[in-house]
Structure 1
Amino acid sequence: MTFQKEAASWMFPSQLSTSPIPSIGANAPSTSKLHLPNPDEKPTILTFLRHCGCPFAEKTFLSFRAAASAHPSVNFVAVSHSAQSATNKWLEAIGGADNVRIIVDNERELFAQWGLGVSSFWHVLNPASMWSVYKLGKEQGIWNRPTESGSRWQTSGSFAVDRSGVVKWGGAAVRADWIPDFEEAVKAAEK
């Protein structure tokens, strides 16, 4: 990790032409990278992560991985916009991706299809998020890790999709420190 890579994560990425965020009850976007509904006809929980190295991405992923272990009848898919090598290194540092499928989307095409574009200054650097990052580190030992690729300005989000490919829960993060409730997502997807 170099200073240049860390500094690059603070640069605004190119703007994305995004689709609207899928509303509850709408058909989920489906592509060759992420086919929904799944051929195995299981519900799917998706999380689109902030950059690898972000403490909120780490907390989100740890919660996501725990939910995946507790619910083997549900597909869990995490989407990273960091490069494959940075994603792999980050996953190794936080204990792996047991029971979670990882999609690397460093062009942010899936993010755009799910309505997740570039966030605002306030989304990332508001005082509540800054307090939350300190609190997460102090209480749970989850601090910033080196950022080798990805953007701090990319909006995250999480969704639950039922067996038929209909969005049942979720949306875009309203602030950088949003940690989704994946048990709630599973309940919504399995209804």
Structure 2
Amino acid sequence: MTWQTEFWSWMSPPTVQTAEVPAVGQKAPSTPNLTMPAQDGKSTIITFLRHCGCPFAEKTFLNMRALAPAHPDIHFIAISHSDQAATDRWLASLPEPEKNTQPNLTIVVDAEREAYAAWGLGTSSLWHVLGSIPGTSKLSKEGISVRPTESGSRWQTAGNFGVDAQGVVRWARVDGRADDMPDFKEGVDKVMGGKFETGGFAEAMQG
């Protein structure tokens, strides 16, 4: 990590054409690196992370990682827009990195942000990023601090989705701020047949 990489993480990333956020009840989009539905007929929980090094991305991934063993019949996929090398180093730096390797947990690198765009996740506002700064102190009490940013943009928005075995979106939650934390248990409930529900920006877009 150098000051240059930290500097560039604050620059707006190249513009990509984003689709609408898929609503609950719609078919999930597919891209070459994220195909829906899963070929084995299982449901999928997906999280699109902020940049590697972001404490909120770390907390989100750790929450997903902790839930995966209890639901071997569901795929859990974390999407990183940092490049492969930076993503690998970030994963290795996390607590208990051996837990990153689980049969139903996958980390996909989407450095070109193709999947992010297909799922309606573009860049954020200044408030989206800066308004979350107080949340970093809360995470520091849990031992989660800002790590070096080697790749990726701080302006990329994050989001979370649940897709059933037929490839239909059953849960959608786009983060309203960088410090939003998804409830993956809610997502699991929805793909397993719970009441359809959305949250965050996806809910507002449907209202």
RMSD (Å) for aligned C-alpha atoms: 0.9
| 3-state SS of 2:136 partner | helix
Gaps of 5+ in 2: 194-207
Please report the TM-score for the alignment, with normalisation by the length of structure 1.
Answer: 0.96
- Measured in 2, the distance between the counterparts of 1:111 and 1:103 equals 11
Match of 2:40 in 1: 40
How do 1:95-134 residues align onto structure 2 when only pairs under 5 Å count?
Answer: 95-96=97-98, 97-99=100-102, 100-126=105-131, 129-134=132-137
Amino acid corresponding to residue 162 of structure 2 in structure 1? A
- 2:51 corresponding residue in structure 1: 51
Shift in Å at residue 17 of structure 1?
0.9
- Counterpart of 1:132 in structure 2: which amino acid? G
SS at match of 1:175: coil
State how far apart, in whole Å, the 2-side matches of 1:170 and 1:133 are. 24
Residue 147 of structure 2 aligns with which residue? 145
Which residue of the partner structure matches residue 175 of structure 2? 173
Q: Distance in 1 between matches of 2:174 and 2:92?
A: 26
Residue number among 171, 187, 190 corresponding to 1:188 in the alignment? 190
CA contact (8 A) 1:69 1:98 kept: no
Distance 1:55 1:33 in 2: 25
SS of equivalent residue, structure 2 residue 87: helix
Q: Tell me, in whole angstroms, the C-alpha distance in 1 between the residues paired with 2:69 and 2:80.
A: 20
CA distance in 1, matches of 2:136, 2:15: 26
Query: What is residue 79 of structure 2 aligned with on the other side?
Result: 79
Deviations 1:11-64 (A, max 9, x none): 111222100000011000012211111110000000000000000000000001
Does the CA-based 8 Å contact 1:21-1:171 persist in structure 2? no
8 Å contact kept, 2:31–2:118: no
- Which letter maps to 2:58? E
Q: What do the CA deviations read for 1:42-97 (whole angstroms, capped 9, x no partner)?
A: 00000000000000000000001011122111001110000100000000111252
Partner residue in 2 for 1:4: 4
Q: How big is the shift at 1:141?
A: 1.1
Note the residue ranges of structure 1 that are not aligned, 5 or more in a row.
Answer: none
Runs of 4+ in 1 over 6 A off after TM superposition: none
Q: How many residues align?
A: 188
- Cα distance in structure 2, aligned partners of 1:32 and 1:3: 33
